[in-house]
Structure formats: C-alpha cells, structure tokens
C-alpha cells in the first residue's frame, strides 16, 4: 500500500465532479486500500477520490475512536437514496481544509447504496456521525466542500487563511509526517 498526497483547498480539482467507476477491479481495490491507509495516516475519518487527485466516485470512512477496533467502509459509486426528516449539526473539518472547522447542518440519518470492494451492491442505513461523514465524502464526489454549506463570510475567511497558509507552505505534508512517524528509531 502507499500513502497518497492529499490535495488542499483552494485547488480547482476539489470542485470537479467525479466520474462513476465502471468496474470494481484490482486497481480500484488497490486505490481504496491506499486511500484508507492515507486517511489513517492523516488522522482522518473519511476521504474521497477527488481529495487525492482521483476523479472517481470512491470514498473510505471509519469513524471509530483510537481505542476501538477499526471498522472501515469502502464505498464505490455511493448514492444517498433516502434521508431522515430530522437534521443535526456537527462541527465538520476536512483533510483538504486542514485545521479549519465549521458547523454544518445535514440530515441526521441516511440510506446509502454503493458497491463494496468486491463489486457487490450494498445498502447501509447510517445515523448521526456516520451519516454526516458519508454525506461529507459524497459531497466531495460532487465538487462540494463543507465550507460551501456555511455562510459566505465564514467560507471566505477559511479560504483566505488556506490561501495564505499555502503561500507560506504552512500546510502539513501528511505523507512526510507519516513516514517520519513510521521511521525506525
């Protein structure tokens, strides 16, 4: 497996719509495994194809805490087929907008249909944090960032800070950080 570079905003690739995956094969399975490894190395709970420069409808999610056994979800061509009437707001962050957070209102529960890593069709009912995380990652597949769901003032403030940080190279290189952590002592 390999760590992949995570694209940070503002980068135009994050605003592009991802294409459906035609067939789940060994290349797609490898991509999902690399995405999962990259997400864990960056201490994230979700990652979408566009965030690593792959404009494919693939996401990985794992909302377990550090003291719990991992429970990763690998989803190909995920689509929300039902949403709860009740909404909830969570303080969201994103690996593509490091160190920035904002409250986002989303449906409390969803039903999502997707292909698993074997190509089998699955449906999952998710609530609360898991539902929010899946919705956040599916947004990435449609070129939507969590800051697109907050006020224009808050969005512009976050994007200005990211532009400034990018210019001064203050953004972390997750692959570099991970290799430093895993380096033998």
Catalytic residue IDs: 137
Q: Which residues contact 10 (CB under 8 A, 6 or more apart)?
A: 159, 162, 163, 166
Residue 40, classed as helix, strand or coil, is helix
Run of H or E including 37: helix 26-41
Q: Which residues contact 181 (CB under 8 A, 6 or more apart)?
A: 41
The rounded distance, in Å, linking the Cα atoms of 144 and 68 is: 30
Provide long-range contacts, Cβ within 8 A and 24+ apart, for 83-86.
83/107, 83/109, 83/110, 83/111, 84/108, 84/109, 84/110, 84/127, 84/131
Run of H or E including 152: helix 152-167
| Token pair recorded at residue 80 | 């929300």
Q: What is the DSSP letter of 14?
A: G
């Amino acid at each position: 497996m390999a760590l992949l570079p995570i694209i940070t905003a503002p980068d135009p690739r994050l605003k592009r719509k991802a294409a459906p995956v035609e067939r789940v094969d060994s290349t797609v399975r490898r991509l999902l495994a690399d995405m999962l490894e990259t997400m864990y190395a960056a201490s994230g709970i979700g990652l979408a194809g566009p965030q690593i420069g792959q404009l494919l409808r693939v996401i990985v999610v794992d909302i377990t805490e550090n003291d719990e056994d991992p429970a990763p979800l690998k989803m190909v061509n995920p689509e929300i087929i039902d949403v709860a009437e009740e909404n909830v707001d969570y303080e969201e962050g994103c690996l593509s907008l490091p160190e920035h957070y904002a409250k986002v209102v989303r449906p409390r529960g969803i039903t999502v249909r997707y292909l698993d890593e074997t190509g089998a069709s699955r449906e999952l009912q998710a609530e609360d944090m898991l539902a929010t995380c899946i919705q956040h990652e599916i947004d990435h597949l449609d070129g939507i960032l969590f800051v697109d769901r907050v006020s224009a003032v808050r969005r512009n403030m976050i994007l200005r800070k990211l532009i400034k940080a990018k210019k001064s190279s203050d953004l972390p290189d997750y692959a570099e950080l991970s290799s430093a952590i895993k380096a033998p002592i």
